[in-house]
Chains A and B, each alone.
Chain A
């Protein structure tokens, strides 16, 4: 049974009150957050207020919803009315949105107990969480290692049992990569399945919100709750593929699981072995493994960085020191004020990506880079569509390595970009992908595998992930931290 269903049962059967449960999460945050640095803002008053409302309903004999009263956390780039939302950037310091992101509006209406906002790379740009102005979130399996990024705080909080689940956002792997590093489940839904309204934009054609959870059932439950069409996000379509939780126990006998050879290139041996061992588990469950080539994958990473940075350079133009956030103290004119505000307010990686994005969009380079990258995006989408004519899901590593040690990612930007090689293709093609724990390296750090589905094929990949979880429960290890249910 997943954590969410277990908490639901405990609350409904009055084994524990929602207030007691919330207090134990808050106490564990107090103990663990000094080391994990998973939360950048804790909201005890709001959490306990919601908990009291849930307890009142239970005391009155009312049935509560599955997510009702379950303590959770939101990545700090999702707008929360009246609560700091900073994207872990100095430029948004002190910013309190006047409205809620749609995902939070949905969960709040179901009495989700938000414990706080979680750490991330500044504006979701990074793969280690160390680009946060609050310092990086650490890995609950070993705090000398990073939690990954950019949704490192959410993965650390869930892996460290100081949130039952978290919401992250994934532009090039920012849900799946930290989930893989922290030994938890992370689902990046199909582009358009979940509303982006109130999600502070990084790259609008790639960004998507999804759950980070302890188990596949939990990811499925949260996805079903948040995948709703929203007229405030014109790209949102909702759960076109239907609900997923009711389809978790489908037989996968005869399912064709594809492995693209290119996904295994340059992947560390221990990671490759773990993924291939998972393929064996699938074979034992009656699935058929099909190898194929996806040569266009080798262009995915530069295509991703060109498109993401181009969109970021435009999206981040709004930070000018006038309407919200940080403003420089001394300036001589409007242009000087804006330039100083931005130069002082943005971190190094964000500035690098704004400059790169401006470069690839500027006259003389637009055709060679941006136009070429978007054309190749079409080619990559077609290649995935072709691949899905001979397999039902694609199995791949989530990251070519396990969580690196603190400080390792900061030194070389291009080397750090390479860690995203297995995750970015899904965002380019707008497909759903779920990262699931599938092993451990010699140092005990978790390894993750990724199941990629057709557009709106969340039910298929989550069912396949669930079948693996049932067959290989030993890969889903707990850490020493946090609340033990």
Chain B
């Protein structure tokens, strides 16, 4: 059972605001999706497990210095910047 409090809590974890007037609608919609997802609880218990596709394993490499992008290039997409840094927010 998905409650309004669940949705508020998940929204906080997701860093999303849900306006008060949308809360009931969203709770109902989440409940509907969770009911649909609950179908998996009727599935037989599996002992297959899953690690990853194609049985990949970690590949270690030497820690070598390679060229990267200049800060000026990366900062081009920043909505706001100050003194060659990302500006998170203005000082209050």
Contacts and interface: CB of A to CB of B under 8 A. Distances in A.
A8 interface: no
Contacts, number: 153
A205 B77 contact: no
Contact of A359 (B34, B44, B56): B34
A430 B52 CA distance: 10
A324 B81 CA distance: 11
A379 B11 CA distance: 32
A105 to B, nearest CB: 15
A94 B80 CA distance: 13
B33 A305 contact: yes
Contacts of B24: none
A335 B15 contact: yes
Nearest to B42: A299
A234 B53 CA distance: 12
Max chain A C-beta neighbours (<10 A), residue from B34, B37, B43, B77: B37
Contacts of A96: 76-77
B50 A98 contact: no
A118 B43 CA distance: 39
Interface residues of A, number: 67
A325 B77 contact: yes
Interface in B15-55: 15-18, 26, 29-30, 32-34, 36-41, 43-44, 46, 48-50, 52-54
B10 A234 contact: no
B88 interface: yes
Contact of B53 (A205, A303, A324, A325): A205
Contacts of B78: 322-324
Contact of B76 (A98, A205, A317, A382): A98
A87 B17 CA distance: 22
A191 B89 contact: no
B74 interface: yes
B52 A378 contact: no
Contacts of A455: 54
A372 B41 contact: yes
Given A99-B69, A324-B78, A354-B16, A378 B40 contact: no
A352 B29 contact: yes
A340 interface: yes
Contact of B88 (A237, A299, A322): A322
B10 A358 contact: yes
Contacts of A303: 40
Given A306-B37, A335-B15, A376-B43, A234 B59 contact: yes
Nearest to B9: A362
A361 to B, nearest CB: 9
Contacts of B29: 352, 413
A302 interface: yes
Contacts of B76: 96, 98
Interface stretch (A32-40, A46-54, A128-136, A326-334): A326-334
B38 to A, nearest CB: 8
Contact of A378 (B17, B33, B49, B87): B49
Max chain A C-beta neighbours (<10 A), residue from B26, B33, B36, B80: B33
B39 A299 contact: yes
Nearest to B52: A205
A358 B53 contact: no
Contacts of A377: 50
Interface string A188-215: 0001100000000000010000000000
Contacts of A373: 40
A323 B33 CA distance: 33
Contacts of B10: 355, 358-359, 362
Given A299-B39, A331-B89, A355-B7, A378 B16 contact: no
A355 B11 CA distance: 6
B15 A338 contact: yes
B37 A305 contact: yes
Interface of A: 94-96, 98-99, 191-192, 205, 234-235, 237, 296, 298-299, 301-303, 305-306, 313, 317, 320-327, 331, 333-335, 337-340, 342-343, 346, 351-352, 354-356, 358-360, 362, 368-369, 372-379, 381-382, 413-414, 417, 429-430, 455
10 A-B pairs with the lowest CB-CB distances in the bound complex, closest first:
A378-B48, A430-B53, A327-B79, A324-B77, A378-B50, A379-B46, A343-B17, A377-B50, A375-B46, A191-B53
21 contacts: A94-B77, A96-B76, A98-B69, A234-B56, A301-B36, A303-B40, A317-B15, A321-B79, A322-B88, A324-B77, A325-B77, A352-B29, A354-B14, A354-B16, A358-B10, A372-B43, A373-B40, A376-B40, A378-B48, A413-B29, A417-B36
Given A322-B86, A322-B88, A355-B7, 13 more contacts: A302-B39, A320-B15, A333-B89, A334-B88, A334-B89, A342-B14, A351-B14, A355-B16, A374-B49, A381-B48, A381-B50, A382-B48, A430-B54
